[in-house]
């Protein structure tokens, strides 16, 4: 394959999709461990939620028609013939001209079809109240099954569980959830100049950054990362490390060694392994052009640039969607924020540009994006930024004041 015969991001995703394996391994876990996990199956309600008509206010359960026409000057008088106790069944019945005292969350007694708020009643004596505002059928109550009905699919397969989803599953009595196992991702950093963070620096040596940024990104995407350390920048060392990582993971990320320099060997190593092998070498983006995508016997391999900013952006564009979906398709990210760029930015057509930005809100409410300038080897620029602004490949740049999509970190 000719190096740097670049593809667009969408073309790269499409080429990968043709050869993507299915990573649908399932496990069942306790509900409280389900946050951010992806459902493996549809979840169906086996009962109504709520299982009975419930009051949403403190007041009196009544027949709505007994309150029609009530006013402060001419209340409708009803007899209080019972009281609903929390957590107990209300046997009723509520007849014509009658009412039951009921607390918030209490079960509506038979015969009643509305609840009058206590604020709209006045006590005549211990057994009689006057209602000063009419109630319509259904007022101040939640009907049985109004939240969830029996047999309804409450959450679909491939849904990522949020805190509110855990509450919904608890409401329908689900205490264990079938979820997809996290995608296992091996992370290798290559380069003879790299040293571990706990080692002292010396001229020509730099501490490994990418292992740690990529580890965090994999965790954030819902994957299960494993670090394989710093690999010497030579063919056999990288080949043996990659073979080991492929054996233990569904995806491997290799940072460094993806450009066309004479000592960069990632593409050559991949070509010696399984089919279909190298799928692309180079994508039309900035930063991150010298990136590699491959599939080796059902395992995905990405060769990421050594510059930390480039590696992080390429991960978000290509690796994150696969981890988040467990290899099945390309899930949509959260919606980007629209912001006005604060300076003119040049861009070459035919290339997607991703610009680090900070965000701020002006007094008139406008959200603006200030570019964070700096080379792709400077990790501090990613720390200062709130996200990246996207300049599409169809544009030659943006002018100050123009709206851009900003993907938040």
**Among 90, 94, 93, 95, which Cα is nearest to 105's?**
90
Residues 305, 342, single domain; the answer is no
Mean pLDDT along residues 25-54: 95
Q: Is residue 130 part of a domain?
A: yes
Residues 382, 371, single domain; the answer is yes
The stretches of 145-276 forming alpha helices (DSSP H) are 163-171, 210-220, 235-248, 266-271
Confidence check: pLDDT of 259 > 70: no
Tell me the two tokens of residue 158: 């491939």
Residues 30, 160, single domain; the answer is yes
Q: Is residue 280 part of a domain?
A: yes
pLDDT tens, position by position, 340-354: 999 999 998 899 999
Residues 37, 64, single domain; the answer is no
Pairwise CA distance, residues 351 & 345, whole Å: 14
The stretches of 52-183 forming alpha helices (DSSP H) are 163-171
pLDDT tens, position by position, 83-135: 999 999 998 899 999 999 999 999 999 999 999 999 999 999 889 999 999 99
Q: What are the C-alpha distances in Å from 284 to residues 83, 183, 350, 352? A: 71, 27, 7, 6
In the chain, the number of structural domains is 4
**Averaged pLDDT of the chain:** 92
Residue 269: other Cβ atoms inside 10 A: 25
Residue 293 near residue 318 (C-beta atoms within 8 A):
yes
Instruction: Note the pLDDT of residue 187.
Output: 98
Confidence check: pLDDT of 4 > 70: no
With tokens 């089919």, the residue in question is 275
Q: Is residue 1 part of a domain?
A: no
Q: Is residue 169 part of a domain?
A: yes
Residue 230 near residue 208 (C-beta atoms within 8 A):
yes
Pairwise CA distance, residues 277 & 298, whole Å: 10
Instruction: Note the pLDDT of residue 394.
Output: 92
Tally the residues of the chain. Answer: 409
Residues 225, 362, single domain; the answer is no
Residues 315, 191, single domain; the answer is yes
With tokens 């394959």, the residue in question is 1
**What do you get for the CA distance between the two ends of the chain, in Å?**
34
Give the residue from 301, 324, 347 where a domain finishes.
324
Largest CA distance in the chain: 97
Kindly indicate the confidence band of residue 274, based on its pLDDT and cuts at 50, 70 and 90: confident
Kindly indicate the confidence band of residue 2, based on its pLDDT and cuts at 50, 70 and 90: very low
Residues 187, 305, single domain; the answer is yes
Mean pLDDT along residues 304-324: 94
- What domain range is 99 assigned to? 54-142
Residues 234, 207, single domain; the answer is yes
**Among 129, 128, 109, which Cα is nearest to 119's?**
129
Residues 205, 315, single domain; the answer is yes
Instruction: Note the pLDDT of residue 331.
Output: 47
Residues 188, 280, single domain; the answer is yes
DSSP state of 195: E
Kindly indicate the confidence band of residue 261, based on its pLDDT and cuts at 50, 70 and 90: low
Residue 42 near residue 156 (C-beta atoms within 8 A):
yes
Q: Is residue 221 part of a domain?
A: yes
Residues 190, 105, single domain; the answer is no
Residue 50's DSSP bridge partners are none
The pTM score is 0.86
Sign for the CA dihedral angle at 103, 106, 110, 115 comes to positive
């Amino acid at each position: 394959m000719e190096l740097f015969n670049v593809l667009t991001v969408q073309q790269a995703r499409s080429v990968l999709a043709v050869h993507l394996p299915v990573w649908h391994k399932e496990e069942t876990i306790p509900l409280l461990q389900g946050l951010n996990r992806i459902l493996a199956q549809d979840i169906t309600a086996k009962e109504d939620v709520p299982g009975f008509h419930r009051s949403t206010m403190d007041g009196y359960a009544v027949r709505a028609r007994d309150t029609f026409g009530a006013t402060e000057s001419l209340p409708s008088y009803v007899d209080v013939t019972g009281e609903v106790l929390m957590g107990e069944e209300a046997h009723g019945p509520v007849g014509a001209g009658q009412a039951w005292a009921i607390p918030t969350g209490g079960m509506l007694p038979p015969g009643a079809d509305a609840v009058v708020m206590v604020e709209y009643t006045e006590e005549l004596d211990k057994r009689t109240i006057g209602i000063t505002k009419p109630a319509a059928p259904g007022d101040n109550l939640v009907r049985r099954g109004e939240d969830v009905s029996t047999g309804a699919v409450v959450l679909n397969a491939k849904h990522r569980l949020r805190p509110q989803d855990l509450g919904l599953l608890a409401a329908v009595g689900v205490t264990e959830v079938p979820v997809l196992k996290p995608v296992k991702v091996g992370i290798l950093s290559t380069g003879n100049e790299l040293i571990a963070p706990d080692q002292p620096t010396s001229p020509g040596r730099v501490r490994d950054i990418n292992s740690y940024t990529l580890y965090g990104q994999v965790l954030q995407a819902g994957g299960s990362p494993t670090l394989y350390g710093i690999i010497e920048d030579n063919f056999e060392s990288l080949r043996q490390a990659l073979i080991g990582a492929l054996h233990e993971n569904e995806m491997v990320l290799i940072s460094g060694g993806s450009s066309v320099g004479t000592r960069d060997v990632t593409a050559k190593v991949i070509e010696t392994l399984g089919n279909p092998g190298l799928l692309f070498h180079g994508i039309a983006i900035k930063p991150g052009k010298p990136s590699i995508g491959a599939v080796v016997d059902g395992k995905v391999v990405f060769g990421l640039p050594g510059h930390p900013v480039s590696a992080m952006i390429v991960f978000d564009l290509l690796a994150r969607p696969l981890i988040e979906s467990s290899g099945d398709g390309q899930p949509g990210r959260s919606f980007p924020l629209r912001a006005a760029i604060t300076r003119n930015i040049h861009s070459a057509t035919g290339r997607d540009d991703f610009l680090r930005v900070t965000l701020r809100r002006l007094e008139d409410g406008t959200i603006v994006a200030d570019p964070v300038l700096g080379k792709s080897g400077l990790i501090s620029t990613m720390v200062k930024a709130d996200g990246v602004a996207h300049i599409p490949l169809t544009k030659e740049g943006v002018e100050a004041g123009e709206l851009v999509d900003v993907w938040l970190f």
